[in-house]
Amino acid sequence: MHNSKKSSNFAPIFVMYILQIRQLNYKIDIMQKRNLSFAQLFNLSFGFFGVQIAYALQSANISRIFATLGADPHTLSFFWILPPLMGMIVQPLVGKYSDKTWTRLGRRKPYLLVGALIALAVMILLPNAGNFSFGQSVFLGLNAAMWFGLFSLMFLDTSINIAMQPFKMMVGDMVNEEQKGTAYAIQSALCNAGSVVGYLLPISLTWVGIANTAPQGVIPDTVKWSFYLGAAILTLCSLYTFMTVKEMNPEEYAEFHGIKDKKVDPSDEKGIITLLKEAPSAFWTVGLVQFFCWSAFLYMWNYSNGAIAVNCFGWDGVDTEVAEFQNAGNWVGVVFCVQAVGSLLWAAFLPWLEKRFHNKGAYSISLVVGAIGFISTFFVTNQYVLFGSYLLIGAAWAAMLALPFTIVTNAIKGGNMGYYLGLFNCTICLPQIIAALLGGVLLTYICGGAQAGMLIVSGVLLLCGAASVFIIKEKE
């Protein structure tokens, strides 16, 4: 009796054990299905390559374009207010509404396509601002060509923001935490590769014989054709991602992110104030670091052209139609390319730093290295020696592209991922707006009119960012 009772108890226990093993295997299979192949991760971000070409052309040539159209160096930073301002407006809206967009074409992809098509049109118009017959009328200190360029820049940055944000959101939507670091690393690599192409286009076209100078007030052909080629590549790359990526439907998304009610749209109706109140501490502490970092790079994009023209090419600081200024404009693209290469090299080194010093240590070290690069540019008078300075600056850029989004997305719940990433973009845009408003004041009263002095200001800002890293509280 004792043995038969023991045997009868063992049977249901054995069956339950088998069922548990099968359920565990099923869960493992589900998790394996959620892991994406390298090709799928690559396709998610390939369009970012084209978007970054457009962004690189904008960041390397906007000061050159507006200086050519007649802008004064002390007011040049004001032209940099529009790009981040449009980013602050557009990216949260794209995040909010794409969270609730469930169509046959996808959730984020429709915004990607619209942004790319608008950018195509504007990139053709912007470099022709000096070619239209606007006359000599002046309004609020700006001639008609500058006003046309200003509005074109506004639409260009709006379209770039519309096209750029979906790539960040799709990684948050479709990639699990185990692969997220790899996905953002691929996106960072494509970002830097696109930057290299965009930065080198003007000087490459000069080498093949396209004119790099033009009459006063007219943008050189090298810049025009760079924008035309960039627009074409942006469109093709965005179409590639649009055609090769299949986004999740609401039910799959809810299951993937562990949202309980799968019948309800995962994005809720929380307002911006509520979301900001509920934002994890990492959102705010990383945002403080972002403030210093993006202010620093705004000054690099704004003043590198004038600084390099004076220090390395002997520009007189006045006439923009002369070869010294336009050749320096080409060289800005080269050193920005070197910065992108430095970023790629440092990105390969970052995993070791993270393992040795954790995310915050790697973040801080990278910003200190970038600060040394910025400060060193003030003392350089040889255009080739600048390569060393901008390689070091690339270390900070690599950390800024990878670590903030890794830290923040790991701390955010899936339901409002897009909206939160759009709001987090304000930590990129707002610093640039404030820096642009203060640029002329700092140039006049701190740097004595020397544009190279603004790069020292950038270095000091990165040192402040490196110190601020240690107040970040990461999700365990």
Percent of the chain predicted with pLDDT > 70? 86
The enclosing H or E element of 205 equals: helix 177-207
* Counted domains in the chain: 1
- Given this model, what pLDDT does residue 417 score? 65
Residue 445 lies in a domain: yes
The Cα 145–Cα 298 span in angstroms is 23
Supply φ then ψ for residue 142, to 5 degrees: -120, 135
- Given this model, what pLDDT does residue 141 score? 64
Please count the other Cβ atoms lying within 10 Å of the Cβ belonging to residue 321.
14
* Alpha-helical runs (H) found in 412-471: 417-424, 426-445, 453-468
Find out whether 184 and 350 touch, Cβ atoms under 8 Å: no
The Cα 283–Cα 160 span in angstroms is 24
Residue 1 lies in a domain: no
Supply φ then ψ for residue 138, to 5 degrees: -125, 135
Read off the tokens for 394. 């690339």
**CATH assignment at residue 318:** 1.20.1250.20
- Given this model, what pLDDT does residue 222 score? 92
User: Residue 76: is it exposed, middle or buried by C-beta count within 10 angstroms (0-12/13-18/19+)?
Assistant: buried
Instruction: Name the pTM for this structure.
Output: 0.72
Give the orientation angle of helix 144-174 with respect to helix 38-68, to 10 degrees.
170
Which residues are 139's β-sheet partners?
Answer: 142
Residue 298 lies in a domain: yes
How would you write 47-80 as a 3-class SS string? HHHHHHHHHHHHHHHHHHHHHHCCCCCCCHHHHH
- Given this model, what pLDDT does residue 293 score? 96
The Cα 370–Cα 372 span in angstroms is 5
The Cα 470–Cα 473 span in angstroms is 8
- State the sign of the Cα–Cα–Cα–Cα dihedral 329, 334, 337, 339: negative
- Given this model, what pLDDT does residue 139 score? 59
Which tens digits make up the pLDDT trace of 247-274?
887 777 777 777 765 444 444 556 677 7
Which tens digits make up the pLDDT trace of 97-122?
777 777 888 888 888 888 888 888 88
CA distances from 334 to 235, 304, 337, 391 (A): 24, 12, 5, 11
Please count the other Cβ atoms lying within 10 Å of the Cβ belonging to residue 351.
13
Amino acid at 112: L
Per-residue pLDDT of the chain (476 residues; tens, 9 = 90+): 445 444 444 444 544 444 454 444 434 444 444 788 888 888 888 888 998 899 889 888 888 888 888 777 777 777 778 777 877 777 777 777 777 777 888 888 888 888 888 888 889 888 887 766 655 566 556 777 778 778 888 888 888 878 877 887 788 778 877 787 778 778 878 887 888 899 999 999 999 999 888 888 788 999 999 999 999 999 999 999 888 888 887 777 777 777 765 444 444 556 677 777 777 777 888 889 999 999 999 999 989 988 999 999 988 877 877 888 889 988 998 999 999 889 889 988 888 888 888 888 999 999 999 999 999 999 999 999 999 999 999 999 989 987 887 788 777 765 566 677 777 878 888 898 999 899 989 999 988 888 999 999 999 999 999 999 989 877 54
- Given this model, what pLDDT does residue 295 score? 95
Supply the DSSP string of 102-162, one letter for each residue. -BTTBSSHHHHHHHHHHHHHHHHHGGGTTTS---S-EETTEEHHHHHHHHHHHHHHHHHHH
Which tens digits make up the pLDDT trace of 34-64?
788 888 888 888 888 998 899 889 888 888 8
Residue 6 lies in a domain: no
Residue 391 lies in a domain: yes
* Domain, as residue range, for 166: 38-264+273-471
- Given this model, what pLDDT does residue 291 score? 94
CA distances from 447 to 74, 373, 374, 378, 453 (A): 11, 18, 15, 11, 5
DSSP summary character for residue 36? P
Residue 30 lies in a domain: no
Residue 19 lies in a domain: no
The Cα 355–Cα 357 span in angstroms is 6
DSSP summary character for residue 470? G
Residue 15 lies in a domain: no
The Cα 306–Cα 75 span in angstroms is 13
- Given this model, what pLDDT does residue 416 score? 67
